[in-house]
Chains A and B, each alone.
Chain A
Amino acid sequence: MYKKQTVTIDKMSVPIEGERNLLELVRKARIDLPTFCYHSDMSVYGACRMCMVELEGGGVIPACSTPPADGMIVKTNTKQLRDMRKMIVELMLANHDQNCTTCPKSGDCKLQKIARQMGIDKVRFQQVNRDKIADLSSDSIIRDPSKCVLCGDCVRVCNEIQSVGVLDFANRGADAEVVACFNKGLGEVECVNCGQCVKVCPVGALIPKYQINEVWDALHDDEKYVVVQIAPAVRVALGEYFGYKPGTTTTGQMITALRLMGFDQVYDTAFSADLTVIEEGNEFLERAAKGENLPQFTSCCPAWVKFAEQYYPDMLPNLSSCRSPQQMFGSVVKEYLTDELKISREKLVVVSIMPCTAKKYEANRPEFSAEGNKDVDYVLTTQELSLMIRERGLTFNRLEPGSFDMPYGFKTGAGVIFGSSGGVSEAVLRYAAEKLSKGKGIQTGFTEISTGGVKTLSVQMGDKDLRLAIVSGLASARALIDKIRIGEDRYDLIEVMACCGGCVNGGGQPITEEKTAVEGRARELFDNDKMLQFHSAQDNPYIKELYDDKLTPEQAHHLLHTEYSNRKRINSEDVSLTETAGDKNLKLNICFGTSCFLRGAQELYTRLMEYVRENGLESDTEFTASFCTERCKKGPVLRVNGKTIEHCTYELAVNEIQKALH
């Protein structure tokens, strides 16, 4: 007879049911073994040593990196283990900037929590306080190395889940630290601002860049008219800060809280998400009819957009030209509400509340400004909103519910589900389905909730068979696009969200260890959709009104669309490849960015150097290299005395050099 495999943990017999390591088994036995560096969706690192257990006949071993085997006898609570755990926490504290009262992470900090859990009442080791300077260069994220406990969670999430790899360990031993390449700031490197590192950081070493003070200043300024837009994913997560279960909708209290804080109008980003559905739906139908620039990628996720600009410049024409709902809201409100109120753009302050750190970066992109004034002035994360509600002295769960202001607060269910992976596709499909099969009415239920990875589906629409992919997590997106590039996969529409599960799991959301939290929030958004009167964006009466009265096609193009450009990964200067002393007759500059490199820049360089030597031009030539001239689609790129040659070949280059010399 089949015998169940078991491990004995603290005298309890625990069956092995596919657990990958002892830690999972210990936790299944309801023993809370604390860890800093273990995350079930990332590789096992085994650095923090907090999960050490005693294995009979095997000594003291880390539970996270030990696979369970039948008959193991494990103890988790011996004097030796308790002493070890305490000592580890004490050592961490001795190395940690312990200014907890002024730390933004206070109350949410794992080190604080575990120190309390372990009953640490003093640190026996001398405090090692090295002066480390916080990195303020990014629009979205602040990195404070004095708080870092070197657990490597951020390194792995950035590399494994997002495939960006901005952060890594540098130096060794006591000098080891987590930094971006060449110790540069996060704002100067390839960071896409998704904030997943912020989400996994157990301490206050990575936090969103707060704009709380700026928003209070605007609210206290009588000259300013301050409006706020709230993203869908915020309403199903904010409650977690005030004791509600993940996936509880607290829209009503949130609106009342914002009014009591002093906002003049409370609007909904789901309104502009409806607008996005229509613009993006039309764009998709047009491309599908012409068979041009397919697959169409969604463009509402600013982390994904920066990712594409850096790594997939050749795919940029495939991105939808639609601005994200946050930016559509900003441009529409700054254009029309200023008119209605007869005030200048400067007087109207647009604040948005987002589940996302990358939205802070997006709002700062220069193309989203007019007359030097930003479309969206400040972006707060869900986290920051919770802090402001507390600071205002409001008892959140006792607040009377309120409702959004009209017209920019009215939305359909299509706009609400934008906050979940699969939601944007669902919303666009609802719109497209009605357009293509007139009179059939609204169809729903195209997509399913997903918490990461790639989901594909085929939809029959009219005479068209559409292939869709819904992807969240940038490493999954990279794998998918690489397949498309080599022609292995073909799709018509691809929804990309940088965070696994979509905005509900964004970098600005409440930090939770509950595994079902993300799915719970997503499900609640879809439930919200079910409770609304309209489920398809084109049914939104205020959107119709906007198109009828104000948004001419030209205006729509001007306010609701944007352009993308290649973006270099790292800020750096040109490199000289030859002696540069003196003024040379022939100035050559070659691009050695990733894209040009793949298109044969190295070979071109080698052959041109040969040409220069053979023709005795060495003393007359200055050869420099740039790391990305941001013309990646047209690579390899060579400049001859300032003249740019795109798609440069050896023959073209030599031709131009001869012209330049005569």
Chain B
Amino acid sequence: MSDGIGTKFDKVCSILDKYEHNPHKLIAILQDMQEEYKYLPEDIMTFVSTALGISPSTVYGVATFYSHFTLQPKGKHVIKLCDGTACHVRKSQDILNAIKKYLGLSKKSNTTPDMLFTLETVACLGACGLAPVVVIDDQVHGLMTPESTIALIEEIKKEEVVCGGN
């Protein structure tokens, strides 16, 4: 049982209608679905395959091929750490280790149990002049150190407590 999927089910139906149930527009449909749910729940993929008249394994294949799609629910705040060549030589690994340690993330799970943070690494953000780069919730932070990154995360955490998690 995936809780709350249906609260946006009207939206799901309208996305399918928008693309006229056209199986050739599968990627665009999945992108819009992910926009709604922040990830691609299995039930939604099943529903999409039914609605488009294609096999669910095709939908699953596309969803797992592109790193843009995620099949796991993401945290409220997404931290993207650049590990491209420039960031890498300027020690992005140290930042990665520091975030992991601070948030208690393991190799297997990159989302905190309270669903507040998700950590991702990306290949290159094209901001090599600012290396190393961290993007938190689509906001770019350049010339980062482990300490300044943790400080940013602490800031968000504090705000969350004030707002009562809303």
Residues of A within 8 A of B (CB): 159, 164-172, 179-183, 189-190, 569-570, 572-580, 592-594, 597, 602, 605-606, 609, 623-625, 627
Contact = CB atoms under 8 A, between A and B. Distances in A.
Contacts of B47: 575, 592, 625, 627
Given A168-B55, A573-B1, A606 B7 contact: no
7 contacts: A168-B57, A182-B42, A189-B56, A573-B1, A574-B1, A578-B6, A627-B46
Interface of chain B, main secondary structure: helix
Interface residues of B, number: 31
B46 A572 contact: yes
B72 to A, nearest CB: 13
Contacts, number: 103
A577 B45 CA distance: 15
B13 A570 contact: no
B10 interface: yes
Contact of B43 (A168, A172, A575, A580): A575
A593 B50 contact: yes
A319 B13 CA distance: 35
Query: Which of B13, B51, B64: most chain A Cβ within 10 A?
Result: B64
Query: Which of A168, A578, A609, A627: most chain B Cβ within 10 A?
Result: A168
Contacts of A602: 13, 16, 51
A623 B8 CA distance: 12
Contacts of B43: 572, 575, 625, 627
Nearest to A183: B60
Given A570-B46, A572-B43, A166 B1 contact: no
A579 to B, nearest CB: 7
Contacts of B55: 159, 164-166, 168, 181, 190
Interface string B48-61: 01110111111111
Contact of B64 (A166, A171, A570, A580): A171
A624 B60 CA distance: 23
B4 A170 contact: no
A625 B47 CA distance: 10
Given A182-B56, A627-B50, A170 B64 contact: yes
Interface of B: 1-7, 9-10, 13, 16, 42-43, 45-47, 49-51, 53-61, 64-65, 67
Contacts of A609: 9-10
Contacts of A623: 6
Nearest to B13: A602
A577 B6 contact: yes
Nearest to B53: A594
A602 B46 CA distance: 14
B57 A181 contact: yes
Nearest to A180: B57
B65 A575 contact: no
B138 to A, nearest CB: 25
Nearest to B59: A181
Contacts of A594: 50, 53
B110 to A, nearest CB: 16
A648 to B, nearest CB: 17
Contacts of A627: 43, 46-47, 50
Contacts of A179: 57, 60
Given A166-B55, A182-B45, A623-B6, A172 B65 contact: yes
A641 to B, nearest CB: 18
Contacts of A578: 6-7
A479 to B, nearest CB: 14
A455 B58 CA distance: 31
B58 A165 contact: yes
Contacts of A574: 1
A288 to B, nearest CB: 33
Nearest to B58: A168
B30 to A, nearest CB: 14
Contacts of B51: 597, 602
A572 B49 CA distance: 14
Contacts of B7: 577-579
Given A168-B58, A172-B64, A606 B6 contact: no
A171 B61 CA distance: 7
A179 B63 CA distance: 13
Given A572-B46, A593-B50, A577 B56 contact: no
Contacts of A579: 3-4, 7
A631 B7 CA distance: 26
Contacts of B61: 168-170
A625 B5 CA distance: 10
Given A169-B61, A574-B1, A597-B50, A625 B42 contact: no
A54 B54 CA distance: 39
B50 A606 contact: no
A167 B55 CA distance: 9
A576 B3 contact: yes
B42 A572 contact: yes
Contact of B5 (A171, A172, A575): A575
Given A576-B6, A580-B3, A592-B47, A165 B57 contact: yes
A405 to B, nearest CB: 46
Contacts of A169: 61, 65
B119 to A, nearest CB: 19
Contacts of A170: 57, 60-61, 64-65
B2 to A, nearest CB: 6
